[in-house]
Amino acid sequence: MGHVQAVWIALVVVSWFYAAAWFWQGWIALRGMPTLPDLTRVDADALEALPDGAGPQLSVIVPACNEAESIEASLRSLLGSRGIRLEILAVNDRSTDATGAIIDRVAAENAGPHVLRAIHIDALPVGWLGKPHAMATAAAEATAEWLLFTDGDVMFAADALERALRCAREKRADHFVLVPTLIVHSVAERALQAAMQVLAQWSIRLWKVSDPKARDFVGVGGFNLIRSEAYRAIGGFESMPMEVLDDLRIGWKLKRAGFRAMVALGPDLVRIRWIAGALSVFKLIEKNSFATFRFRTVFHVLAAVGMTLVALVPLAAVLAGWSGLPHAVWIVAGGWVAWGGIGLTYWANRKLMLAPAWMAVFFVPCVLLVAVAFVRSMVLTLVRGGIRWRGTYYPLEMLREHCGKW
């Protein structure tokens, strides 16, 4: 009987450990997320004015590989930008579809105030991943004081870039991330997006990115706005030619080099269709998740187990009420407190996720889906001996050799 009693006491402790952890996550998010500026609520005219002159105020770098379905709409949204002078460098990176022809046509038709230049890459040098090489190539030709690294499927509101650049200059930021709004077409897509953001908060507190003493950093492929002087000071993408997570890595390098980083919200200023159906998470994570843990199997497995536990333990604790066994009430209480913390985290992130707190009811299945996708990413990479992305194969040995530590 003593052993049984010890087991139940241990279960009570575990239940309340996760309750405390989740309640803490919800509490810090509730306090921290409102401190992020919302550019849609900021009077742009009250911010620092952009510099006068004939040259571009911002160079926008758009790498595109087989983006024929989205590249024209993305470029035209950039060309429709107001209140700012742009130099747009659209890179056709070895596309096998009509991407290059579309870029050339849009550039030829452009008669607006912005400059649009096409860059065509026909071959990938040894020792490079495609996207870092495309961005490094374009950045070498950029002439503005600020560089915006984005993607070929991102849509911009007419005032998005003016607001972002003026805010970055006002706050004296060197690296400015405007979190894109994800375009979703179903409840399942929104639920998955929300669950992934709630999970991400365990490793990245967005409101702490601007704190030079905090370890938190971030980078977003759809919107990395960087002062060109800071970009070149860290060696640019030439310093990370084989980096799979190029957006996060450049954020890490800038933060560790002492440059000021900043994150802002702005619903619908920058939009991207990132999740195309809940099962698309398998393809999204296939390239990136193993790289997050620097291709280290043990850490990757621990991460998958960890995210499974943070979802399943609170649920199991609540279900323990049906057991009728001693101390079950204390386990159940811990489970409900944990779920309260999960709901609080959803509520605190509602402006970022554009998802209501009640979507926490989908948290467990969404996390399990992500965990399976994590394991699948690792297994596929190990079996294939590398990753295949955008038609190019990159050996695992080379990726491990060139990836840096976090």
What is residue 324's predicted lDDT score, i.e. its pLDDT?
64
pLDDT of 344: 95
CB-based burial of residue 66 (10 Å sphere; 0-12 exposed, 13-18 middle, 19+ buried)?
A: middle
Cβ proximity of 290 and 377 under 8 Å: yes
Query: Which structure tokens are listed for 405?
Result: 């530590």
Dihedral angle of Cα 160, 162, 166, 169, to the nearest 10 degrees: 90
pTM (2 d.p.): 0.93
| Contact assessment for residue 179 and residue 264, using Cβ atoms and an 8 Å cutoff | yes
How do 224-227 and 261-264 pair as beta strands?
unpaired
Run means of pLDDT, 10 residues per run, the chain, 406 residues: 66 90 95 95 82 89 96 98 97 96 97 95 94 97 97 96 96 97 89 92 95 95 97 97 94 97 96 80 80 89 92 89 72 92 95 89 93 90 89 88 78
Query: Residue 71: what are its φ and ψ, rounded to 5°?
Result: -65, -40
pLDDT of 330: 86
Q: Which two tokens stand for residue 13?
A: 């402790």
Amino acid identity, position 63: P
Q: Tell me, what's the pLDDT at 327?
A: 67
| Residue at token pair 């291709």 | 295
Tell me what percent of the chain is helix, strand and coil, each rounded to the nearest 5. 55, 15, 30
Structure tokens at 391: 């038609």
- Go through 297-317 and write b for each residue having 16 or more CB atoms within 10 A of its CB, e for each that does not: eeebeebbeebbebbebbebb
pLDDT for position 152: 95
Q: What DSSP state is assigned to residue 277?
A: S
Token pair, residue 169, equals 């200059």
* Closest residue by Cα to residue 134 from 65, 197, 233, 200: 65
**Distance (Å, rounded) from C-alpha 140 to C-alpha 50?**
23
Are the CB atoms for 227 and 144 separated by under 8 Å? Answer: no
Q: Can you tell me whether residue 135 is helix, strand or coil? A: helix
Q: What is the pLDDT of residue 1?
A: 46
Name all domains of the chain by residue range, CATH numbers in brackets: 2-33+280-402 (no CATH), 39-180+220-275 (3.90.550.10)
Contact (Cβ atoms closer than 8 angstroms) between residue 250 and residue 234: yes
Q: How far apart are CA 295 and CA 302, in angstroms?
A: 13
Residues 6+ apart with CB under 8 A from 200: none
Distance between CA 22 and CA 150 in Å, rounded? 34
61: nearest Cα among 135, 117, 141? 135
